[in-house]
Amino acid sequence: MNDKPAEARRIRPPGWRDPRLLIGLLLVALSVTGVVALVQSIDERQGYWAASTDIVPGAQVTAEDFHIVQASISESAEHYWEADTELPPEFLVSSTILQGELLTQRQVAQSDPDGRQQVGVRVSEDMPASVTIGSRVDVWVAAAREDGRGYEEPTKMISNAEVTGTDNNTSAFAAANTTTVYMMLAQDAVPPVLDAQANDAKIALVPATIGD
């Protein structure tokens, strides 16, 4: 009688041809594909043109001044310039666009729709810190008195002017304690502002209130 125990069967790891392994890999691939398809179906973002830098009215721009971003803006989408729509070769913008902001349809123009001009005005250095590119301001002017002693009571000369840039006057030829602020002004507003500046009037800017 042979009492020698039977040799245990060796368990081998499944090879790459094993049907169970192939089915497992197929299920994983189908799962990943399903998740990707689900995410893509939920993601309703579209491409839109956005400013690569601050852009102000009066500056000639091209598509190189913009880049494409993905955004989801639902019912407002028709008001913005989509990435699959070519921008004009050269154009102006009708209002300030800060870096990263989306370009709207109404901002693309061949000329300023209101016929405004960019004018640099010297104002006092204590200008409010909130006055930056894109701000709306009221322009107040205090004329110099005829006897040279002080200034008349200030009056508001312009309402709701758009600021397009600032420049601290560091030149030896510039008036002391002033900053040049560039604004878009209607053509009929340009002469009185320049006249006030030429006659050494004090010009100050005040942030425009809602409704101006």
- Per-residue model confidence as pLDDT tens digits over 164-197: 988 876 554 445 567 899 999 998 999 999 999 9
Which residues lie closer than 8 Å to 37 by C-beta, 6 or more apart?
Answer: none
Which residues lie closer than 8 Å to 74 by C-beta, 6 or more apart?
Answer: 44
* pLDDT value for 41: 47
- Domains in the chain, number: 2
Same domain, yes or no, for 98 and 154? Answer: no
* pLDDT value for 92: 87
* pLDDT value for 97: 92
pTM for this model (two decimals): 0.63
Which residue stretches of the chain are H helix?
19-42, 190-198
Which residue stretches of 68-189 are H helix?
none
**Polymer length in residues for the chain:** 212
The alpha carbon dihedral of 194, 200, 202, 204 has a sign of positive
The verdict on residue 129 lying in a domain is yes
109, 131, 156 — which closes off a domain? Answer: 109
* pLDDT value for 128: 83
What is the Cα–Cα distance from 170 to 125, expressed in whole angstroms? 12
Same domain, yes or no, for 80 and 104? Answer: yes
Same domain, yes or no, for 177 and 124? Answer: yes
Same domain, yes or no, for 203 and 122? Answer: yes
Same domain, yes or no, for 77 and 121? Answer: no
Q: Which residues, listed in sequence order, are joined to residue 96 by a DSSP beta bridge?
A: none
82, 109, 136 — which closes off a domain? Answer: 109
The verdict on residue 82 lying in a domain is yes
CB 164 within 8 A of CB 97: no
Structural domain boundaries, residue 92:
46-109
The verdict on residue 21 lying in a domain is no
Same domain, yes or no, for 100 and 121? Answer: no
Residue ranges for the chain with pLDDT beneath 70: 1-25, 29-44, 113, 125, 169-177, 210-212
What is the Cα–Cα distance from 116 to 106, expressed in whole angstroms? 16
Same domain, yes or no, for 70 and 102? Answer: yes
Amino acid (1-letter code) at residue 92: L
Amino acid (1-letter code) at residue 93: V
